[in-house]
């Protein structure tokens, strides 16, 4: 039993490390302008590369199928290998170590690299869903997902600490994008196995309390570090040391658990047989309680929603409402973040990497908030807000943030980026539990990859329209566009779409309100 609980915490720490370096596509805005110059491509071609990274998610369902039939450690290493090839060959090309790679080849490599993220994500989700009981499953998923939002911050801190040249930084992002996930996957592969959600909920509650304190402290440090970079008051090396320390802190929980096991073992050996018998009896009672809790969790999970496969899911009205809510919400936010480099450049703002770091830090907190609320109210379902209602509440301020971007001040840029980062992160986190709530957990690995496939569609449509407006307003000599007109119409369109998505989220809530009310009463 003790070893199982220890493995639960180790698997959570492993998932946190994997997610911290898995968001390789999120740092694209930090080097997109430099990549555009290095490759001598237009804004539309650059946007196509951003789309290519998201297009990899169209094949994300392959990772879900692989997770059903292959060992999880193998699925993890496949994802890391795809990223190594996708980003690694691009790095070798822009550093002139290999030649004769066309733009079409770079596009396909970017698709491959984008798909690699799905494989690692799928393994992290499956491990957490298998290893934690229902009461703490969303909490654990939310924590690991929040660290995925921190990826751009992690990469930016590392690159800024090592490189000073803007051109070298662009190359460094591609190098680290290819190498870091591979290293993390090799280290984490022994931990990625399921143990069927065995554990004492009372003991786990204390561990999650400490984990939340560590995670919140990490988020606060990330935001302080981002503002420190903007104000140039925090040395890059110090920022890197602080971030590495924050990522190592979650190890405290499994280390304490291991020490407790060792001390308990010594104490056990020094007791008489009678004491042994009483402890065994108590442990047997505790084991029965845990088994009853797990059985209750399983019964509640089965009663909450029937298990639905992909074919049946695609026939549900709720799925299509959910699909387009995500499309006009989280997907639209990700498109904004993909274009953040060009948006900042057009407004005459030079600190793009700091802005990306800021959006990543607030996105981290956005992803964490839903799991924190779920943790606080984990035993009081009647106080929980249904997921569709939560998404609607997040999309409204996000729509307002797009309109705020029509203001040309840097304060408006900072504020809007922070709001969109928080809301996008929160919707992304909530969507994981929403998929399991509406369609069950058995087919989650495939179902959720089908849902997030809309990211690639939105990336192309929204991104391509933004690139057309950008080109229309730009300088035909160098292809650059400077001024507020470059994205004014785009912001109006994005804001209107987000308001429409809010309306769809309210419809989804109305259709599922009865289901959520029954869930609260169980």
Is the model's pLDDT at 145 over the cut of 80?
A: yes
Cα 352 to chain centroid distance, Å, stands at: 21
pLDDT in tens, 6-25: 788 888 998 999 999 998 88
Dihedral through CA 24, CA 26, CA 32, CA 33, nearest 10? -140
pTM of the model as a whole: 0.75
Q: What is the pLDDT of residue 328?
A: 94
| CA distance linking residue 94 with residue 201, whole number of Å | 51
Lowest mean pLDDT among 76-80, 390-394, 439-443: 439-443
> What are phi and psi for residue 197, nearest 5 degrees?
55, 45
Q: Distances from the Cα of 29 to the Cαs of 58, 167, 292, 320, 353, in angstroms?
A: 21, 14, 50, 30, 8
Q: Distances from the Cα of 476 to the Cαs of 43, 202, 346, in angstroms?
A: 11, 65, 15
| CA distance linking residue 379 with residue 53, whole number of Å | 40
Is the model's pLDDT at 42 over the cut of 60?
A: yes
Q: Which of 88-92, 251-255, 315-319, 399-403 is most confident? A: 399-403
Joined together, the tokens standing for residue 164 give 């000073």
Q: Distances from the Cα of 178 to the Cαs of 97, 122, 217, 486, in angstroms?
A: 16, 19, 29, 33
Instruction: For helices 410-439 and 488-520, give the axis angle rounded to 10 degrees.
Output: 40
Q: What is the pLDDT of residue 303?
A: 42
Q: What is the pLDDT of residue 58?
A: 79
Q: What is the pLDDT of residue 201?
A: 57
| CA distance linking residue 372 with residue 229, whole number of Å | 28
């Amino acid at each position: 039993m003790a070893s199982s609980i220890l493995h639960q915490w180790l698997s959570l720490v492993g998932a946190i490390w994997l997610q911290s370096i898995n968001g390789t596509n999120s740092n694209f805005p930090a080097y997109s302008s430099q990549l555009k110059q290095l490759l001598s491509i237009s804004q539309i071609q650059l946007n196509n590369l951003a789309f290519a990274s998201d297009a990899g998610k169209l094949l994300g369902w392959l990772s879900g199928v692989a997770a059903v039939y292959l060992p999880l450690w193998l699925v993890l290493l496949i994802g890391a290998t795809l990223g190594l090839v996708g980003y690694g060959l691009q790095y070798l090309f822009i550093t002139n170590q290999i030649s004769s790679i066309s733009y079409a080849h770079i596009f396909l490599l970017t698709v491959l690299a984008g798909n690699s993220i799905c494989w690692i994500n799928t393994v992290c989700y499956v491990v957490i869903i298998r290893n934690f009981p229902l009461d703490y499953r969303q909490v654990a998923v939310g924590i690991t997902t929040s660290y995925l939002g921190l990826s751009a911050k992690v990469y930016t801190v590392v690159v800024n600490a090592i490189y000073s040249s803007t051109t070298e930084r662009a190359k460094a992002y591609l190098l680290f994008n290819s190498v870091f996930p591979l290293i993390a996957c090799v280290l984490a592969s022994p931990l990625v196995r399921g143990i069927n959600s065995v554990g004492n909920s009372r003991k786990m509650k204390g561990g999650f309390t400490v984990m939340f304190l560590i995670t919140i402290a990490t988020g606060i440090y990330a935001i302080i570090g981002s503002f420190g970079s903007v104000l140039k008051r925090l040395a890059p090396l110090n920022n890197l040391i602080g971030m590495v320390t924050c990522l190592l802190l979650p190890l405290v929980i499994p280390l304490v658990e291991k020490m407790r096991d060792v001390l308990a073992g010594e104490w056990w050996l020094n007791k008489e047989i009678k004491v042994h018998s009483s402890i065994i009896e108590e442990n047997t009672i505790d084991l029965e309680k845990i088994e009853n809790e797990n059985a209750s969790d399983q019964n509640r999970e089965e009663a909450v929603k029937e298990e639905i496969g992909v074919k049946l899911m695609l026939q549900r009205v709720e799925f299509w409402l959910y699909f387009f809510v995500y499309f006009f919400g989280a997907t639209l936010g990700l498109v904004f973040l993909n274009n953040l480099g060009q948006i900042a450049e057009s407004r005459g703002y030079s600190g793009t990497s700091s802005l990306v770091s800021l959006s990543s830090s607030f996105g981290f907190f956005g992803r964490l908030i839903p799991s924190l609320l779920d943790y606080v109210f984990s035993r009081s379902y009647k106080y929980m807000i249904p997921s569709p209602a939560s998404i609607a509440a997040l999309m409204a301020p996000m729509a307002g943030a797009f309109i705020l971007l029509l203001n040309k001040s840097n304060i408006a840029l900072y504020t809007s980026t922070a709001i969109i980062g928080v809301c996008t992160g929160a919707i992304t986190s909530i969507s994981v539990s929403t998929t399991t709530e509406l369609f069950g957990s058995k087919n989650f690995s495939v179902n959720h990859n089908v849902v997030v496939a809309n990211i690639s569609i939105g990336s192309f449509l929204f991104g391509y329209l933004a690139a057309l407006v950008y080109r229309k307003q730009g300088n035909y000599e160098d292809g650059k566009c400077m001024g507020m007109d470059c994205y004014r119409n785009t912001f109006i369109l994005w804001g209107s779409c987000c308001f429409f998505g809010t309306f769809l989220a309210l419809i989804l809530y109305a259709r599922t309100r009865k289901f959520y009310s029954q869930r609260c009463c169980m």
